[in-house]
Structure 1
Amino acid sequence: MAQFPQPRLVTSTSLPSQICLPDIPAYTGKVFALKHNPHHLPAAHEAYESFDTYGIHTGSKRQRFFDYDFGLMSALCFADADFPHLRTAIELVLWLFSFDDMIDRGALNNIQRMKNAVDVTMKVLRDPSTPPPKFKVAAVLQSCFHRMRQDGGDGTLRRFIDATDQYTQRSLEQQVNKSTERIPTYTLELNLPDEVANNPVVIELGIAGSDILNWANDIYSFPVEFARGDVHNFVSVAMEHMDLGVEDAIAYVDQRIRDRVDEYVATKNKLPKFGPGLDEQAARYIQGIEYFVQGFIDWSFITPRYFGDEAKKVKETGVVKLVAPIALDAPLHVEA
């Protein structure tokens, strides 16, 4: 079976022992609000308890995954969700990062395995009668989507399936988009009509918010991803295609984020009026985008996922020590 090759950038680049991060929260925080969902702890308890029954992570890997505190991330990103919707959102986030880690850490580092994983994942969304798959990560998604079907509007469900399809296809192409941009619509119990959801300004706000979040994440995750040999990251792309050193590449991505924030503000000022009721829904949806962006950025300096035990110190100093190469996980056999 065809394996993904070791990138030339990884084998030919010599990195410094540490790098300096730009202060992204300082300028995004002027545009995007931060709020903590009061249902955080009880919703996280139920979500983790349910997720744990699938046995996806065991031993030290389970503890490491749980220590990342995706419950807190969800409470910051879905700040206005009620208890049941936050609980489902947390499980969706656990699904997303479990799937993403299988790609990043090598368990799906094989074209056929990746294709099988994508096929099984999309089948559980498109066919409600599909029995629970043996591929445990897809079984988690299936359980979440069953709950979403009970109270999610048709438009919300359709757009969630489309977004998941785009994510898995990009993953198959090793162009992973880590965004969960369609979850906020569900957590806010919004059933945005197509005239709002498909409005060019609303679409652009969603894309801009996703870009800001993903590009910031690319800076934060670069040290760990590069150590794994993963160059599907904006910093690595800038290094390769613009012939930049790592700190110049980070500065370039930071400037792109700053420009995107300015574009977001300019676009938001062009938001049209949709009429009574719809204006309020559009405003809540856009507020959800903003909570998601700032919540994720702030969580990045709380979780050990990116900077280990030095996350607090990294936030204070902006200095990150680069890590030694990381061994990948054993390949995973994917069954429907």
Structure 2
Amino acid sequence: MATTVTSMIAHPDSEPKVFILPDLVSNCHYPLRMNPHCYPVSRASNKWLIDELRLVEPRSTQIIGFRVGEFSAACYSNTDAFRLRVYSDYMGWLFAMDDWLEQTDVDQILRMRQCCISAFRDPINFETEKFGRKLCRSYFSRFRETGGPGCTERFIHTMDLYLRAVAKEVDNHAKGCILDLESFIALRRETICVKPSLAFIEYAAQIDLPTEVVSHPNITAMENAVIDYAACSNDIFSYNVEQCRRYNHNIIICIMHEQGLDLQGAMEYAGQLCKDAIQRFEANRADLPSLGKEIDEQVAIYVEGLQDWIVSSLHWSFDTNRYFGNDGHIVKQDRIVKVLPKMPL
């Protein structure tokens, strides 16, 4: 379906003062596990990021409030402290970079992409004085110490897709584009940046799946279901902050525009998309064929890692300060969100 270019939606003065989140928690029955190395790794990773980026208050406290270490520990509950620290460092870097990317232009993003890919390809010899690039080199040089060739290449390739997609997102926002739903979902599968984390499932479990296994239709369908769930639920939770900043790359805005729904109706529609994603995940898991005993055991580990990503991203969204400040536990219980006023133009 072709991309639709329109002006930004202007919400009327009669916009509701509150909206109700869809009940995603009741629809997700997977167990939430926590890595026993969570808190020492989280503290060390936060210190690394704050020191390396030379962050000061209030940004340093904000970074700690992201609770990236706890999210990492829930996603990879069975890995060792070394590998958990690599992922936690990566996620801290990613969130810091994500905030920067939304405030920059396409040319700067593409220059960042070139530097990052160079650092991934040769993290030992890559030289840079840019803080963000140095962090990129730091965590990925440790990844390559034990990461298999398959998952290493998958991480680099999917990070490349992510950075290219973010450049497109920023360009769309600058032009005031609102995509049709099909086009939005295709782009959002890249900008949510979950695909690189799926390579970390292999890294954390010390497996390296053959290409023909990773490209199996059922595996691909399960991955897309996880990505769609993470992207759609993230847009539900981040909508309030993003509409406040007048940022339009959000599925809620896309649904309101295409389906002619009000805010609450769009929230319910998006909630059903999340429910559908879990159903797709389970249907494809049930339909997985046997690929041989050794491969089946590795696939089972990988699929459990995909499941952990769904439940971890859901519960972390209420624990972090990124979406609901310090009120996440209250919002998780009553699902009521007060609409933030829009920032001045």
Match of 1:187 in 2: 204
1:216 matched to 2:229? no
> Where in structure 1 are there 5+ consecutive unaligned residues?
1-6, 329-336
Match of 2:70 in 1: 72
The superposition leaves residues 67-102 of structure 1 with CA deviations (integer Å, 9 ceiling, x where unpaired) of 121111111111121111101010011111111111
Q: Secondary structure at the match of 1:88?
A: helix
| Counterpart contact for 2:229–2:278, Cα < 8 Å | yes
**Alignment: residue pair count:** 317
Match of 1:4 in 2: none
Residue identity matched to 2:120: L
Match of 2:335 in 1: 318
Per the TM alignment, residue 270 of structure 1 is displaced from its structure 2 partner at its CA by 0.8
Larger relative contact order (Cα-Cα within 8 Å, sequence gap ≥ 6): 1
Match of 1:52 in 2: 50
| Counterpart contact for 2:126–2:137, Cα < 8 Å | no
| Counterpart contact for 2:244–2:341, Cα < 8 Å | yes
2 CA distance for matches of 1:183 and 1:325? 37
Match of 2:179 in 1: none
Residue identity matched to 2:8: L
Match of 1:152 in 2: 147
Per the TM alignment, residue 242 of structure 1 is displaced from its structure 2 partner at its CA by 2.0
Per the TM alignment, residue 10 of structure 1 is displaced from its structure 2 partner at its CA by 4.8
Match of 1:91 in 2: 89
1:259 to 249, 260, 276: 276
2:80 to 61, 79, 82: 82
| Counterpart contact for 2:109–2:163, Cα < 8 Å | no
2 CA distance for matches of 1:120 and 1:231? 28
1 CA distance for matches of 2:18 and 2:25? 20
1:116-265 mapped onto 2 (5 Å cutoff): 116-128=111-123, 130-174=125-169, 175=187, 176-179=191-194, 180-265=197-282
Q: CA RMSD in A?
A: 1.8
Per the TM alignment, residue 263 of structure 1 is displaced from its structure 2 partner at its CA by 1.3
The superposition leaves residues 287-320 of structure 1 with CA deviations (integer Å, 9 ceiling, x where unpaired) of 0111111011011111221111211111111101
> Where in structure 2 are there 5+ consecutive unaligned residues?
1-5, 170-186
Per the TM alignment, residue 327 of structure 1 is displaced from its structure 2 partner at its CA by 7.5
TM-score, normalised with respect to structure 2: 0.87
| Counterpart contact for 1:33–1:290, Cα < 8 Å | no
Q: Secondary structure at the match of 2:58?
A: helix
Residue identity matched to 2:299: A
1 CA distance for matches of 2:108 and 2:128? 15
Per the TM alignment, residue 160 of structure 1 is displaced from its structure 2 partner at its CA by 0.4
| Counterpart contact for 1:34–1:294, Cα < 8 Å | yes
Residue identity matched to 1:9: M
Residue identity matched to 1:112: D
Q: Secondary structure at the match of 2:337?
A: strand
Residue identity matched to 1:256: L
